Amino acid sequence: MKPLIPRRVRGVALLVLASIVGAGPLTFAQPASLAVLSRDGRKPLPITTINNQDYVAVDDINTVFGTTSREDRLAGGLTVTLRGRSIVVTADQNVVSVSGRLVSLPSPPLRRDNRWFVPADFLPRAMSLILDTRLDLRRAARLLIVGDVRVPRVVARVDAGTTNVAVTFEVTPNTEARVTTQPGRLVVQFDADVLDLALPSLPPQTFLLGLTPGDAPNTVVLTTGPRYASFRVTTSQADAGSGRVTIDLLPATTTDAPAAPAAVPDSRLVIPSQSPSGGLRTVVIDPGHGGEELGTQGANGTLEKDVTLSVARRLRTLIESRLGARVFLTRDDDRTLSLDDRSAFANNHQADVFLSIHANSAVRPALKGAEVYFLTVERAEAEARKRAGDSATSLPALGGGAREIDLILWETAQARYLEQSAALAGFVEPAMTGRIAMSPRAVQQAPFRVLVGANMPAALVEIGYLSNAEQEAQLATGGYQDLVAQALLDALIKFREFLEH
Where does this chain bind Zn ion (CB under 5 A)? 288, 295, 358
How many other C-beta atoms lie within 10 A of the C-beta of residue 322? Answer: 13
DSSP state of 319: I
Taking the complex as a whole, the smallest distance from the CB of residue 332 to Zn ion amounts, in Å, to 18
- Cα(222)–Cα(247) distance, integer angstroms: 10
DSSP state of 325: -
Strand order in the sheet with 196-198: 196-198, 153-160, 165-172, 243-250, 230-237
Rounded CA Rg of the chain? 30
Taking the complex as a whole, the smallest distance from the CB of residue 151 to Zn ion amounts, in Å, to 44
Taking the complex as a whole, the smallest distance from the CB of residue 418 to Zn ion amounts, in Å, to 22
- Cα(38)–Cα(57) distance, integer angstroms: 20
Share of the chain residues as helix, strand and coil, in percent rounded to the nearest 5: 25, 35, 35
For Zn ion, the closer CB: 288 or 426: 288
For Zn ion, the closer CB: 288 or 457: 288
For Zn ion, the closer CB: 112 or 358: 358
For Zn ion, the closer CB: 43 or 358: 358
For Zn ion, the closer CB: 65 or 373: 373
- Cα(342)–Cα(410) distance, integer angstroms: 13
Mutual orientation of helices 478-500 and 418-433 as an angle, nearest 10°?
140
Taking the complex as a whole, the smallest distance from the CB of residue 358 to Zn ion amounts, in Å, to 3
For Zn ion, the closer CB: 288 or 298: 288
Taking the complex as a whole, the smallest distance from the CB of residue 361 to Zn ion amounts, in Å, to 8
Q: Is 393 exposed, middle or buried (0-12, 13-18, 19+ CB in 10 A)?
A: middle
Taking the complex as a whole, the smallest distance from the CB of residue 173 to Zn ion amounts, in Å, to 41
Taking the complex as a whole, the smallest distance from the CB of residue 345 to Zn ion amounts, in Å, to 17
How far, in Å, are 28, 50, 81 from residue 18 at the CA level? 8, 12, 27
Q: Could you tell me which residues are beta bridge partners of residue 188?
A: 179, 220
In degrees rounded to 5, what are phi and psi of residue 25? -75, -15
Chain residue whose CB lies nearest Zn ion = 358
Helices (H), 25-156: 58-65, 122, 128-131
For Zn ion, the closer CB: 265 or 288: 288
For Zn ion, the closer CB: 126 or 259: 259
